[in-house]
Amino acid sequence: MACINNNFLKIHESYLFTEIAHKVANYKASHPEASVISLGIGDVTRPLCPTVIQALHKAVDEMASGETFRGYGPEHGYKFLIQTIIKHDYNSRGISLDDEEVFISDGAKSDLGNIGDLFDFGNVIAVTDPVYPVYVDSNVMAGRAGIMGKDGHWSNIVYLPCCSENKFVPELPTTVPDIIYLCYPNNPTGTTLTKTQLKVWVDYAREHGVLILFDSAYEAFITEPDVPHSIYEIPGAKDVAIEFRSFSKTAGFTGLRCGYTVVPKTVTASTSDGSRIALNHLWNRRQCTKFNGTAYIVQRAAEAIYSEQGQKEIKENIAYYLLNAKIIRDGLSYEGMKVYGGVNAPYIWAKTPDGVDSWSFFDKVLTKCNVVVTPGVGFGPQGEGYVRLTAFGSRENCVEAVKRFAKL
């Protein structure tokens, strides 16, 4: 008899975005004349840039000829992409990496979910609150979260509150966890850590033997000089951190699917007898067993973004989204709302007025302005009283949505 993993039953059935879609569908059904604008989506809307399209076409043609056809590729990615990533994303910032330390994948979400395969169920994880839900849910599935309390927190997870009072900079935990997830620039708050602030975490991890899982899916949106693009810009991080990157928001690959994970050979974790084992070897073993590589044509497309023309084109798209972010940010501030993020990230985190809760404000914005935002509480209890707005829509929609906010 097949028995299920009971941990799956602990996960909330109603996923945040399903709930939102449901409410929006109901509203549209009863107000068919309403033109609803979504500032809730975390997906890009600009098409792939011409250089990427050319690279895709070329790679497709290669697949059509016996001499250039590619079947299974290396599980951890083609050298042409790995070496291009190392040169442009790391060497250019003074960070050296070996080819074997970079693992190409079909996106950061898979790697962030799968990395848990390497760790014992007894590990205590720490996450910020609010948080990108994948870190928490994947640990719930693995049985590491414990039970959900009335306060919306899992009993075995250490939470690091991020709110306006601490300027969204989490304080070091009082209970030492085994693994800490950090995401900067942050989804959902759009805020960042400076190099000095991130160093506090690296030093803490080194002192306590903690592993940091650093998600920098939004590093391409950084505009301020003191914000680190990679955790490896912090001395000593190569001993304690794994970094996750994605081409999704950087280059519009949300549908194409490509990302990569850096596991330095110097990062280790403890065995049950207390000796240390390199995680690079384990991750390689895991990927070779459960993953058969990212499509060749997709890896060629990813390589193309690093050419001079590719960089110019993807940066134009990022600048477009960042200007949307500024329009939303400035517009909401003008209406008297307190807003955060949106300078180094495509997300704006706004405090609801008069202490209104997130879902009530969501309903109000939907019905009065016909604009969809994401209730902050969906990202964790500390998100109560906030909403997230994204800059991934069209310019016209952002401008129109901001105008409509005046109705509030």
59 or 302, CB closer to ligand PLP?
302
Q: Which residue has the tokens 């990230």?
A: 345
Long-range contacts of 9-16 (CB under 8 A, 24+ apart): 10/140, 10/145, 10/147, 10/148, 11/137, 11/140, 11/141, 16/133, 16/374, 16/375, 16/378, 16/379
Structure tokens that stand for 399 in this block:
């401008």
**Other CB atoms within 10 Å distance of the CB of residue 330:** 13
113 binds ligand PLP (CB under 6 A): no
Question: Is there a contact between 332 and 399 (Cβ–Cβ < 8 Å)?
Answer: no
383 binds ligand PLP (CB under 6 A): no
How far is the CA of 257 from the CAs of 135, 196, 260, 331, in angstroms?
19, 33, 10, 33
128 binds ligand PLP (CB under 6 A): no
Q: In whole angstroms, how close is the CB of 113 to ligand PLP at the nearest point?
A: 9
**Of 109, 229, 238, 329, which one interacts with ligand PLP (CB under 6 A)?**
109
Element (H, E) at 245: strand 241-246
**Of 123, 138, 191, 248, which one interacts with ligand PLP (CB under 6 A)?**
248
What amino acid is encoded at 368 in this protein? Answer: K
Could you report how far apart the first and last alpha carbons of the chain are, in Å? 57
Q: In whole angstroms, how close is the CB of 193 to ligand PLP at the nearest point?
A: 14
**Of 44, 183, 234, 302, which one interacts with ligand PLP (CB under 6 A)?**
183
**Of 108, 126, 179, 298, which one interacts with ligand PLP (CB under 6 A)?**
108
SS3 241: strand
42 binds ligand PLP (CB under 6 A): yes
What amino acid is encoded at 379 in this protein? Answer: F
Within 209-228, the residues that bind ligand PLP by CB under 6 A are 215, 217
Within 68-107, the residues that bind ligand PLP by CB under 6 A are 107
132 binds ligand PLP (CB under 6 A): yes
263 or 402, CB closer to ligand PLP?
263
Residue 252 makes CB contacts below 8 A (sequence gap 6+) with 44, 46, 47, 48, 49, 52, 314, 317
**Of 246, 261, 324, 390, which one interacts with ligand PLP (CB under 6 A)?**
246
Q: In whole angstroms, how close is the CB of 298 to ligand PLP at the nearest point?
A: 12
Tell me which residues touch ligand PLP (CB under 6 A).
42, 107-109, 132, 183, 187, 215, 217, 246, 248, 254, 259
